[in-house]
């Protein structure tokens, strides 16, 4: 960006660029003016981010924006300082609710007014219903009473006064209360020991791992920042400077950037926004045309066969039941052939390499289409089998003998059968056998049995799970054998040319069988040596394996892993967390089922006992996934929940490697031409509930952050949901320490990486809003891996912002 500001737009752009990113939040000159008054510090901090062009209209508007941001930041501090303790959004709980709980535990003391024990204070104000440590309620009561003898009974009047004070949302009032909570001697001075104890309490409440030595270092860091005169203590004015500086550095530039961005966006020539119908069409047209073609095929075959049998002699005996059953049978042949195609993974991975096919076919929905066809088979079975059993067979039995002889007697050896005789025939017995096997496989493939849901009775949970699903699904081999047998012995069909089942299923069965043979041969040659096995908290196993010769893959792909020591038949998919340019393969396996628990236990024994030999592993792949489509977009938004970040690690590595390659090309004066487009910007939003989860990818994240530090091509955001929101009294001190430590050492105290960790859950609406303003008119690929409930929310936000703004968000979800 040019150093000279020639217009209002260039000034606004320069101001926007000063907003800190979460991947490399800059806290330089964080507390350079900490020994001066609070107001001076705030003013200087804001001016650091604002090049002023005196005498211009632009400088006047920027000045207004600056004051707006400053005021909102200070007021926001006051409103949110006790956020979520007393109510949502910082609004304190109603007195009637507090009074109601007071009355539940009150008793008559020595005085005329009912009292409660001081230990019930947390329950009365609502802290008793939170997961907070009871120490917080005690410290708050001590601060409110302001004396050393604070452990005495509380009257209703006193509790009401406490509530009024806590309800005062001014910054000064809340800061005084927080200061008193830290000031254990109540002498108006906070020592380093007081700060250390508060840090340990805060860490415990937020389920963070902080040792006493670390708490001492953090306390010393705070004293170093504000105690410039080496007094050995800090007073409330210095505490105010500390918090105001932290708040303005963390929030004001972002607010200022947002305001200026909005101002600039209004000046830009507005592009035509898409209607909701257009967004939905662009999102679903690939799925729609495939489903429409499938439905046309089903209904067309049903109608063709229905019309054919309506003109047969059997129609006189069975009426419309016969053509209905035969029409359904034709759709069953069609669907029994199609259902194998979406699970031919090697074929799909090969086909999706063609950009033209990948554009028109929704390869990412192969499993969804597999399930849709299974639903079509269920409908076909009900129509075909149900019509035969309840309509066709009874009509054959009860038909007039003369009509029976004149029409269909030849098909039954000129003998009018009984119902049991019909059921005993090869065609009916084989059909019933297929229905029973399919019912078992379909039932065990549904969500609850497959995931061993707690909703199921204990007796069922013992016999369900992934293993049961896996083995029961292989009953399809018997189903196809019975299908061939069933098709050879058909009622009222003697001509071989009309026995067309084999024509439908020959190619899909041969293709699928060929794939299984190919996979068996390939996986046999892909026995891998484990170079390194690491055990991480949360029972996560990281395997670094030797890369087989000739093994090529793209970022976002996954592989299947087999451990013969556990089972020679089970293959489980895992995303590759190594980049395509790495000389090794790596995966992260979290123990969520029987197989993963077994493999974790095997490697745990090998690692802890120091054994040289690790369990033997075979791999199969690579296979394509939704994340592979990231090359279609200039801007990427990667959202992973917990272990769901694994598919995106290789993508981030690939983007970072692209930056390094471009650097080397520029330095050497050569520019390589590549047909593969690389994203120009990637955002990672990793949400986890436990601090030790950051250990899983710590080394990788440090590597990526270091390689893209200058270009800011990769911007990473960590969210820890176990910590209370920023601005809450239970995490306020952590925010300050976090900022100070990052300014001094460049490392976040929570993740132990250069990436800033946000507290609590992300506000996805605000995140999408910022992205839409920052990348006006861009096409952003949103890739998600995690629970389905958040997937629905993100999908709706993509649709909403694609219609309300000129930025288009395209949602993708990982499916295995």
Mean pLDDT value of segment 143-171: 83
Q: What is the CA radius of gyration of the chain?
A: 34
Provide the pLDDT confidence category of residue 708 given band limits of 50, 70 and 90.
Answer: low
Angstrom CA distances, 600 to 200, 257, 723, stand at 33, 47, 29
Mean pLDDT value of segment 643-654: 90
pLDDT exceeds cutoff 50 at 47: no
Mean pLDDT value of segment 26-54: 36
Mean pLDDT value of segment 487-501: 79
Start-to-end CA span in the chain (Å):
44
Mean pLDDT value of segment 665-679: 50
pLDDT exceeds cutoff 70 at 26: no
DSSP H or E stretch at residue 714: strand 714-720
- Is residue 577 within 8 A of residue 587, CB to CB? The reply is yes
SS3 323: helix
User: What is the predicted pLDDT for the residue at 248?
Assistant: 59
Mark out the alpha helices in 424-500 (DSSP H runs).
426-444, 447-450, 458-461, 466-473, 476-488
Spatial distance between the Cα atoms of 207 and 730, rounded to a whole number of angstroms:
11
- Six token digits for residue 376: 């079509």
Mark out the alpha helices in 753-806 (DSSP H runs).
764-774, 788-804
Supply the pTM of this predicted model: 0.79
User: What is the predicted pLDDT for the residue at 36?
Assistant: 37
SS3 559: strand
What tens digit of pLDDT does each residue of 361-401 get?
A: 999 889 999 999 999 999 999 999 999 999 999 999 988 88
- Is residue 633 within 8 A of residue 569, CB to CB? The reply is no
Mean pLDDT value of segment 524-545: 90
DSSP H or E stretch at residue 544: strand 540-546
SS3 187: coil
Mean pLDDT value of segment 108-136: 76
**pLDDT over 90, % of the chain:** 36
Provide the pLDDT confidence category of residue 661 given band limits of 50, 70 and 90.
Answer: low
pLDDT exceeds cutoff 90 at 406: no
Provide the pLDDT confidence category of residue 455 given band limits of 50, 70 and 90.
Answer: confident
Neighbouring-strand partners of residue 607: none
Q: Which segments within 77-177 are labelled E, that is strand?
A: 107-108, 114-116, 154-155
Angstrom CA distances, 356 to 283, 360, 404, 809, stand at 17, 7, 57, 22
- For the stretch 157-161, contacts whose Cβ atoms lie closer than 8 Å and that sit 24 or more positions apart, written own/partner, are 157/113, 159/98, 159/102, 159/116, 159/121, 159/124, 160/95, 160/99
> For the chain, how are helix, strand and coil distributed in percent, rounded to 5?
60, 10, 30
DSSP H or E stretch at residue 512: helix 501-525
Provide the pLDDT confidence category of residue 23 given band limits of 50, 70 and 90.
Answer: very low
Provide the pLDDT confidence category of residue 659 given band limits of 50, 70 and 90.
Answer: low
* Mean pLDDT, the chain, whole residue set: 80
Spatial distance between the Cα atoms of 729 and 431, rounded to a whole number of angstroms:
68
Give the Cα-Cα-Cα angle 780, 660, 628 (nearest 5 degrees).
40
Nearest to 84 by CA among 43, 44, 131, 117: 131
Between 85 and 807, where is the model more confident? 807
pLDDT exceeds cutoff 90 at 544: yes
Spatial distance between the Cα atoms of 626 and 816, rounded to a whole number of angstroms:
10
User: What is the predicted pLDDT for the residue at 479?
Assistant: 95
User: What is the predicted pLDDT for the residue at 93?
Assistant: 58
SS3 588: strand
What tens digit of pLDDT does each residue of 800-810 get?
A: 999 889 899 99
């Amino acid at each position: 960006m040019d150093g000279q500001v020639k217009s209002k737009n260039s000034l606004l752009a320069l101001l926007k660029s000063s907003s800190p990113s979460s991947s490399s939040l800059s806290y330089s000159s964080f507390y350079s003016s900490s020994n001066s008054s609070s107001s001076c510090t705030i003013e200087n901090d804001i001016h650091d981010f604002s090049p002023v062009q005196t005498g211009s209209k632009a400088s006047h508007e920027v000045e207004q924006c600056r004051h707006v941001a400053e005021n909102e930041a200070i007021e926001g501090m006051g409103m949110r300082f006790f956020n979520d303790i007393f109510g949502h959004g910082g609004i304190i709980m109603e007195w009637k609710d507090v009074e109601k709980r007071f009355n539940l535990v009150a008793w008559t003391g020595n005085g005329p007014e009912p009292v409660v024990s001081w230990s019930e204070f947390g329950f009365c104000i609502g802290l008793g219903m939170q997961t907070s440590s009871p120490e917080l309620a005690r410290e708050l009561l001590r601060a409110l009473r302001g004396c050393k003898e604070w452990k005495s009974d509380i009257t209703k009047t006193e509790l009401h006064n406490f509530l009024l004070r806590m309800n005062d949302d001014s910054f000064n009032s809340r800061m005084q209360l927080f200061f008193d909570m830290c000031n254990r001697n109540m002498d108006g001075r906070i020592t380093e020991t007081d700060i250390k104890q508060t840090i340990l309490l805060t860490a415990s409440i937020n389920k963070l791992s902080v040792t006493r030595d670390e708490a001492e270092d953090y306390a010393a860091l705070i004293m170093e920042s504000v105690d410039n005169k080496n007094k050995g203590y800090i007073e409330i004015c210095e505490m105010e400077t500390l918090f105001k500086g932290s708040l303005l550095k963390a929030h004001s530039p972002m607010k200022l950037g947002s305001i200026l961005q909005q101002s600039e966006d209004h000046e830009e020539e507005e592009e035509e926004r898409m209607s909701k119908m257009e967004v939905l069409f662009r999102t679903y047209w690939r799925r729609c045309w495939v489903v429409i073609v499938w439905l046309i095929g089903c209904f067309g075959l049903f109608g063709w066969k229905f019309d054919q049998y309506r003109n047969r002699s059997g129609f006189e005996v069975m009426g419309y039941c016969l053509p209905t059953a035969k029409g359904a049978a034709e759709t069953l042949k069609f669907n029994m052939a199609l259902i194998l195609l979406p699970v031919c993974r090697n074929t799909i991975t090969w086909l999706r390499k063609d950009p033209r096919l990948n554009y028109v076919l929704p390869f990412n929905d192969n499993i969804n289409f597999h399930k849709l066809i299974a639903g079509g088979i269920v409908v076909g079975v009900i129509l075909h089998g149900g019509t035969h059993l309840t309509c066709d067979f009874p009509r054959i039995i009860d038909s007039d003998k003369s009509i029976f002889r004149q029409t269909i007697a030849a098909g039954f050896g000129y003998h009018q059968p009984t119902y049991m005789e019909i059921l005993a025939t090869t065609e009916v017995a084989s059909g019933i056998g297929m229905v029973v096997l399919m019912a078992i496989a379909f039932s065990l493939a549904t969500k609850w049995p497959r995931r061993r849901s707690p909703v199921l009775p204990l007796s069922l949970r013992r016999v369900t799970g992934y293993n049961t699903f896996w083995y029961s699904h292989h009953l399809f081999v018997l189903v196809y054998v019975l299908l061939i047998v069933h098709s050879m012995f058909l009622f009222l069909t003697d001509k071989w040319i009309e026995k067309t089942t084999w024509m439908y299923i020959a190619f899909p069965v041969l293709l699928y069988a060929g794939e299984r043979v190919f996979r068996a041969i390939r996986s046999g040659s892909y026995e891998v040596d484990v170079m390194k096995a690491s055990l991480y908290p949360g029972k996560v196993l990281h395997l670094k394996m030797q890369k087989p010769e000739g093994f090529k893959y793209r970022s976002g792909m996954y592989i299947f892993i087999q451990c013969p020591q556990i089972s020679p038949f089970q293959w489980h998919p895992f995303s590759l967390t190594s980049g395509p340019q790495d000389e090794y393969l790596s995966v992260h396996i979290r123990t969520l089922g029987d197989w993963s628990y077994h493999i974790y236990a095997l490697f745990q024994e090998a690692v802890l006992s120091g054994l040289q030999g690790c369990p033997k592993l075979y791999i199969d792949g690579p296979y394509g996934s939704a994340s592979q489509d990231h090359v279609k977009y200039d801007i990427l938004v990667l959202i992973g929940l917990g272990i769901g970040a694994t598919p995106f690690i290789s993508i981030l590595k690939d983007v970072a490697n692209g930056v390094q390659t471009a650097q080397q090309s520029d330095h050497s004066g050569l520019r390589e031409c590549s047909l593969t487009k690389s994203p120009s910007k990637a955002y990672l939003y990793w949400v986890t509930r436990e601090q030790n989860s950051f250990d899983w990818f710590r080394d990788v994240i440090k590597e990526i952050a270091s390689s893209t530090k200058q270009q800011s091509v990769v911007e990473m955001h960590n969210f820890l949901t176990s910590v209370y929101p920023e601005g809450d009294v239970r995490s306020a001190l952590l925010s300050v320490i976090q900022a100070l430590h990052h300014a001094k050492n460049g490392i976040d105290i929570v993740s132990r990486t250069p990436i800033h960790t946000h507290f609590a859950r992300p506000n996805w609406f605000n995140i999408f809003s910022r992205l839409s303003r920052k990348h006006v008119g861009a096409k952003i690929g949103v890739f998600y891996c995690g629970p389905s409930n958040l997937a629905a929310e993100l999908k709706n936000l993509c649709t909403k912002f694609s219609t309300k703004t000129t930025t288009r968000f395209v949602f993708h979800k990982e499916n295995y």
